[in-house]
Structure 1
Amino acid sequence: ISKNDKWIATSSKDETARIWNIETGLEVHCLEHPREVTCVAFSHDSNYLVTSGADMSARLWDVECGIQQEKIQALAVLHSCIFSSDDQWIITSSSDNMARIYAKNGNCLKCFDGHMRAVNCCAITYDKKILVTASNDFLAKVWNVETCVEICSLQGHSQEVVSCDLTEDGSLIMTASKDISARIWLAKNEGYEIKNILVGHVSPLTCCKFSSDGKRAISSASDKTVKVWDIEILPLQDSEPQHNGDVLNCAISNDGNRIVTGGKDQALRYFDIQTGKLLKLIDGAHSNDVTCVAFSYDGFRCCSSCKDWTLKIWDGTSGKLRQTLEGHGAAVNYCVFSKNNLLITSSNDKKVIIWDAISGAQRTTLKQDASWVLSCAIDSTGSLVVTTTYEIAKIIEIKTGKSKLLRGHVGGDVNDCDLSNDDKFVLTAGDDKTARLWDVKSGLELVKYRGHTSYVYSCAFTSCGTRVITASRDKTARMWEMKSGVELAVYFSEIPISSIAPSPTDPYCFVITTGNEFRILAPAHRSACSEHSSALLLKKDDDENK
């Protein structure tokens, strides 16, 4: 949009740029390139339009008459073009990994060389001192315009950075990426650090901009939406690691208010799900890796399992140790509570032990033929247990010991399992890059969820019972339609995702663990699944989607 609010300019793959009258909506000029037009930008005085194209040229046009005033011949396909604040410079980004500054007569004044792949976008401060570029090398870079020297690289996106912008004073930078996130960066100590991660789109982003007053950020995506973000109320991104080692597992309390996490630093941490704030640190909870954590259904207890062969029961709110359970003869891999106050645990000692969750007494021990039992689940009545091991999942009747083998995963471990709320279905996740849905009564495979490109570590049913979620070594978490197996949404991470836990109160919200942190993924709208990757749950009003 021109600064005088008279004109709109558009660029298109039809090899034209067009200028439109805002008041009437009528086309005023059609400006032709011999190939696709990639970008348009008005001068600040609204007298000129610059266009860039796949024909390796930028062209300067008179807005009133639509006549070409100058042609700037570049050395590669141009992806973007902008004016400097005084309209004396035209800045371009191109497929030869460069950004360049040209005078309006076409003379090249400055070159910015440092990206490893094509530069998609560029932006410059009002005083012409700082330039930011966005590239397919997953980076944005900040440059000193006078010296053409790189100030810093903005690292964090896990896919191509397609767009960038900065406020007039250069205090904030915004980047948008194909990883379905936008990021706000804050100027600090002669560089920039992450301030916010904006996640709510469900498809790769296409563009981002700041409002002229710098108080709002705008993002667009191929999910057919534009989102406006209020920068002043966004939470600060916590730059401190949540754990001092990899987080291996997480759980959400049934009231949806607390998260517990455990990992390789042998500690447990309780977090408030509304704010992401640490409520309780239990340092030295175990003497080895914490492999699994679980809340009881009433939220009064929390269990942690460990490679040190022990289980510990903690107060679900205060974190005070209540009991230490010993009975396994090897690393304990998994723990889960039943609705009727049973605790089920699985171990590398080939055993599944069922405990009284209140007294800590052992009720039943189920010995398995497998070398190890990786995960387990129990139905709502406490009569059926599901276990997983190498290539096989098993449904076991606790009273009789009879079992059904669920065969389908091949070439690796079945890492995780879950039972649906109505006890009719079993969900499993395996090293064969798939998750599978099984019928409890017949033991038959019903659906195979395909899409992951590496081991699927974790799986769960959502609280609505119509969707399932999975987490994988391929750095993605995915949501699927349960019965059809259709993939509904993908969340991209920078590193593998070790576990996933659904919210008991919101069918669209879940928590993942990745590296030394957890992330809460929550939707922007009921009708579409999207995510928020900072430690903040965006609460939704039932009457008004916010």
Structure 2
Amino acid sequence: MFDTESVTLLQKINRHSSDVTSCDFSKNYAVATGSSDKTVLVYEWRQSLGYVEAAYCPLRGHKYGVTCVRFSPSQPVLASSSIDGHTNVWCLRSGKCLQSLVQANGNGVRVIAYSTDGSLLVTAGEGGIFCLWSTSMNNYTLIRTVSGHDEESIQGASISPDNMIVVTGDVTGTYKLWSVSTLKDDECSNPLATVRDAHDLGINYLDFSSQYTIHISEEDGVTERCYLLASCGNDHWSGLWQVSITQVGKGNEAPILPSVPIPQLISKLCGHSSAISQGRISSQGDLLATASIDNTTRIWQISSGRCLKTLEGHTRYVTSCAFSEDQTMIITGSNDRATILWDLSGSLGLDSLLPSNPSNMASNYLVENIGERDESQSIQLLHKLEQHSSSVNSVHFSSSYLVSAGSDHKLVIRSWTSLGEVGDGCVIEEAHRYPIHQVEMCAKSGLLASCSLDGTAVLWDPETGMIKKSGWHVSGAGVRCVRFSPDSHIIAAGGDDDEVHVYRSDTCQKLATMKGGDGDGIMCLVLVYAVFDFLLTLI
């Protein structure tokens, strides 16, 4: 919780021998910084010590200064870019460089950005070229190389939260929107929209909010998606833009209409006395942080455009900033070679316990060959939990809860920590009238979904154990699977009637019904983002 009256300087780190050019937070509180000294540093939180360098640091592999560092949202890796024309992908377990991505034109890379689900990476920079990479299948693969800015250096790039759009901005103050599904190599791609003179003296950074809205017209099959984009530049102000696209047809695979409305500037945030080097939107989409060469960082409330706090602690230009996942902290980097961690909650100290070891990041991504792993490590039984009186049919983890459900009609919700500590939990005796077949936690909203052979699916508040929404999915047959989409905006349910019903997760409005089985019922479904399509896989 951001408390404007209690913001304090938590820790100041001076480990680089030159300017700190970039900084970032991982989802589990690890910190990374890049510098003109050609190195990357990764910091882990140690109770009573604060942030300390990982044992494998510094990471050396760039020939020239590092321009940008970004943690993958889904994999235990860190990407760093440099004016040497390379983007290096580092293993957070060992510090090894897993892959070095070469920019297509060989020129310097100024900015990199992952998609929200971590499946895509965009790298952009000098020469007006940006590259789009797929991060799947244990390997980063170049998908497209686009020459879209007349050889003007690209300083800002971001991917929309649903992977539909890439935005790129250059030193002339122009930014362009690109459809991911229709991108073509070289100069063959046409932007969906071009905004000129967005900033008079050039764009320094662009960032999509993770929050967006979808409006669906059932009658004509038209879908409108609305996004929030933040921009900043050398003209001392930051902009908040409404970006809209329209599709005809259902699903992410539906084509985007060529006549995309020009993005609208909905808020102009003024307060800095000099150029703004970077602007980052918080994961919850309600705050914007801007770093400036006036030596300050400002935190803005997006809904009102009001500056909530000005952070003063650096003696030279502030080059970069980033929020922690829960918005309790912000990190800033500066030309004074320092990195500062700020406590936004007023409740943190060096004695606080934070799960910040990046090697503990949950992932099914294999970052090293099996032969290189330490075979001395073994799997240990931590707990045997016996609160069900019949078979356990489904279990699921979130960042805070462990949920189980079974044929005894029970839901058991337990708190847990990354250290393996499990709480007593809340037992909901008759959560459904018949056996519960699957449970799943939503990563963003924190809601719990359950489905049962009684023909229903229910949304729960795991903190209270109370029903949040029922009656939104009722079937005449057993419901065997319920899943959230990777961006948490969609929920789907299927079962013995061979049908899958797709809903908006916030309103439970039905979006589609699909016939997916062959008479044997649907036992499992998965919603994933592919590179160019939204896929729903049925088993």
Distance in 2, matches of 1:410 and 1:248, equals 22
1:250 and 1:261 in contact (8 A); partners too: yes
For residues 68-147 of structure 1, the aligned pairs below 5 Å read none
The corresponding residue for 1:350 is: 128
How far did 1:403 drift? 2.4
CA-based RMSD? 2.9
2:127 and 2:153 in contact (8 A); partners too: yes
The corresponding residue for 1:439 is: 242
Distance in 2, matches of 1:486 and 1:301, equals 35
For residues 345-424 of structure 1, the aligned pairs below 5 Å read 345-357=123-135, 358-370=138-150, 371-389=152-170, 390-400=172-182, 401-407=190-196, 409-423=198-212, 424=227
Residue by residue over 1:247-286, the C-alpha shift from the partner in whole angstroms, topping out at 9 and shown as x without a partner, is: 1001111122x11111111111110145211113134321
1:254 and 1:298 in contact (8 A); partners too: no
Distance in 1, matches of 2:243 and 2:196, equals 13
Residue by residue over 1:94-144, the C-alpha shift from the partner in whole angstroms, topping out at 9 and shown as x without a partner, is: xxxxxxxxxxxxxxxxxxxxxxxxxxxxxxxxxxxxxxxxxxxxxxxxxxx
After alignment, is 266-275 or 242-251 more displaced?
A: 266-275
Amino acid at match of 1:480: W
The secondary structure found in structure 2 opposite 1:281 is coil
For residues 273-352 of structure 1, the aligned pairs below 5 Å read 273=45, 275-279=50-54, 280-326=56-102, 327-338=104-115, 339-352=117-130
1:263 and 1:290 in contact (8 A); partners too: yes
2:36 corresponds to which of 234, 256, 264? 264
The secondary structure found in structure 2 opposite 1:399 is helix
The secondary structure found in structure 2 opposite 1:463 is coil
Residue by residue over 1:351-373, the C-alpha shift from the partner in whole angstroms, topping out at 9 and shown as x without a partner, is: 11011224222101121134111
How far did 1:449 drift? 0.5
Identity of aligned residues (%): 23
1:462 and 1:508 in contact (8 A); partners too: no
The corresponding residue for 1:143 is: none
Distance in 2, matches of 1:259 and 1:270, equals 6
The secondary structure found in structure 2 opposite 1:298 is coil
The secondary structure found in structure 1 opposite 2:122 is strand
Q: Does 1:429 align with 2:232?
A: yes
Q: Does 1:242 align with 2:15?
A: yes
Amino acid at match of 1:439: Q
The corresponding residue for 2:449 is: none
How far did 1:407 drift? 4.1
Distance in 1, matches of 2:239 and 2:353, equals 30
User: Any unmatched runs of 5+ in structure 2?
Assistant: 183-189, 213-226, 245-260, 356-399, 401-539
The corresponding residue for 1:499 is: 320
Distance in 1, matches of 2:131 and 2:350, equals 34
How far did 1:508 drift? 4.0
The verdict on how the C-alpha distance between 1:251 and 1:201 changes in structure 2, with shifts beyond 3 A counting, is closer
Distance in 1, matches of 2:88 and 2:345, equals 37
Residue by residue over 1:141-188, the C-alpha shift from the partner in whole angstroms, topping out at 9 and shown as x without a partner, is: xxxxxxxxxxxxxxxxxxxxxxxxxxxxxxxxxxxxxxxxxxxxxxxx
Distance in 2, matches of 1:479 and 1:252, equals 16
2:74 and 2:118 in contact (8 A); partners too: no
The verdict on how the C-alpha distance between 1:318 and 1:494 changes in structure 2, with shifts beyond 3 A counting, is same
For residues 162-181 of structure 1, the aligned pairs below 5 Å read none
The corresponding residue for 1:255 is: 28
After alignment, is 272-281 or 317-326 more displaced?
A: 272-281
The corresponding residue for 1:212 is: none
For residues 144-163 of structure 1, the aligned pairs below 5 Å read none
Distance in 2, matches of 1:337 and 1:347, equals 15
1:344 and 1:355 in contact (8 A); partners too: yes
How far did 1:336 drift? 1.5
1:377 and 1:417 in contact (8 A); partners too: yes
The verdict on how the C-alpha distance between 1:524 and 1:251 changes in structure 2, with shifts beyond 3 A counting, is closer
Asked which structure has the greater RCO (Cα within 8 Å, sep 6+), the reply is: 2
Distance in 1, matches of 2:333 and 2:81, equals 17
Distance in 2, matches of 1:524 and 1:539, equals 14
The verdict on how the C-alpha distance between 1:473 and 1:399 changes in structure 2, with shifts beyond 3 A counting, is same
Distance in 2, matches of 1:305 and 1:450, equals 30
Amino acid at match of 1:379: S
2:161 and 2:209 in contact (8 A); partners too: no
The corresponding residue for 1:485 is: 305
How far did 1:393 drift? 2.0
Distance in 2, matches of 1:537 and 1:285, equals 34
Distance in 2, matches of 1:510 and 1:406, equals 30
The corresponding residue for 2:396 is: none
How far did 1:416 drift? 0.4
1:497 and 1:513 in contact (8 A); partners too: yes
The secondary structure found in structure 1 opposite 2:127 is coil
What is the TM-score with the length of structure 2 in the denominator? 0.53
The corresponding residue for 1:519 is: 340
1:521 and 1:537 in contact (8 A); partners too: no
Q: How many residue pairs end up in the alignment? A: 305
Residue by residue over 1:226-264, the C-alpha shift from the partner in whole angstroms, topping out at 9 and shown as x without a partner, is: x9x9xxxx99x77x73111111001111122x1111111
Distance in 2, matches of 1:405 and 1:317, equals 41
The corresponding residue for 2:371 is: none
How far did 1:539 drift? 7.0
The corresponding residue for 2:414 is: none
2:32 and 2:40 in contact (8 A); partners too: yes
How far did 1:524 drift? 3.9
The secondary structure found in structure 1 opposite 2:154 is coil
Distance in 2, matches of 1:360 and 1:482, equals 34
Distance in 1, matches of 2:19 and 2:306, equals 31
How far did 1:412 drift? 1.1
Distance in 1, matches of 2:353 and 2:24, equals 18
Distance in 1, matches of 2:124 and 2:166, equals 11
How far did 1:535 drift? 8.5
Runs of at least 4 residues of structure 1 off by over 4 A? 534-540
Residue by residue over 1:373-395, the C-alpha shift from the partner in whole angstroms, topping out at 9 and shown as x without a partner, is: 11211123322001111212222
Distance in 1, matches of 2:101 and 2:3, equals 45
The verdict on how the C-alpha distance between 1:287 and 1:427 changes in structure 2, with shifts beyond 3 A counting, is same
Residue by residue over 1:419-461, the C-alpha shift from the partner in whole angstroms, topping out at 9 and shown as x without a partner, is: 1112410000110000100011041011001000000000011
Residue by residue over 1:35-60, the C-alpha shift from the partner in whole angstroms, topping out at 9 and shown as x without a partner, is: xxxxxxxxxxxxxxxxxxxxxxxxxx
The corresponding residue for 1:210 is: none
The corresponding residue for 2:416 is: none
Distance in 2, matches of 1:348 and 1:253, equals 27
Distance in 2, matches of 1:537 and 1:394, equals 43
Distance in 2, matches of 1:374 and 1:333, equals 6
Distance in 2, matches of 1:451 and 1:487, equals 8
The corresponding residue for 2:275 is: 455
Distance in 2, matches of 1:329 and 1:411, equals 28
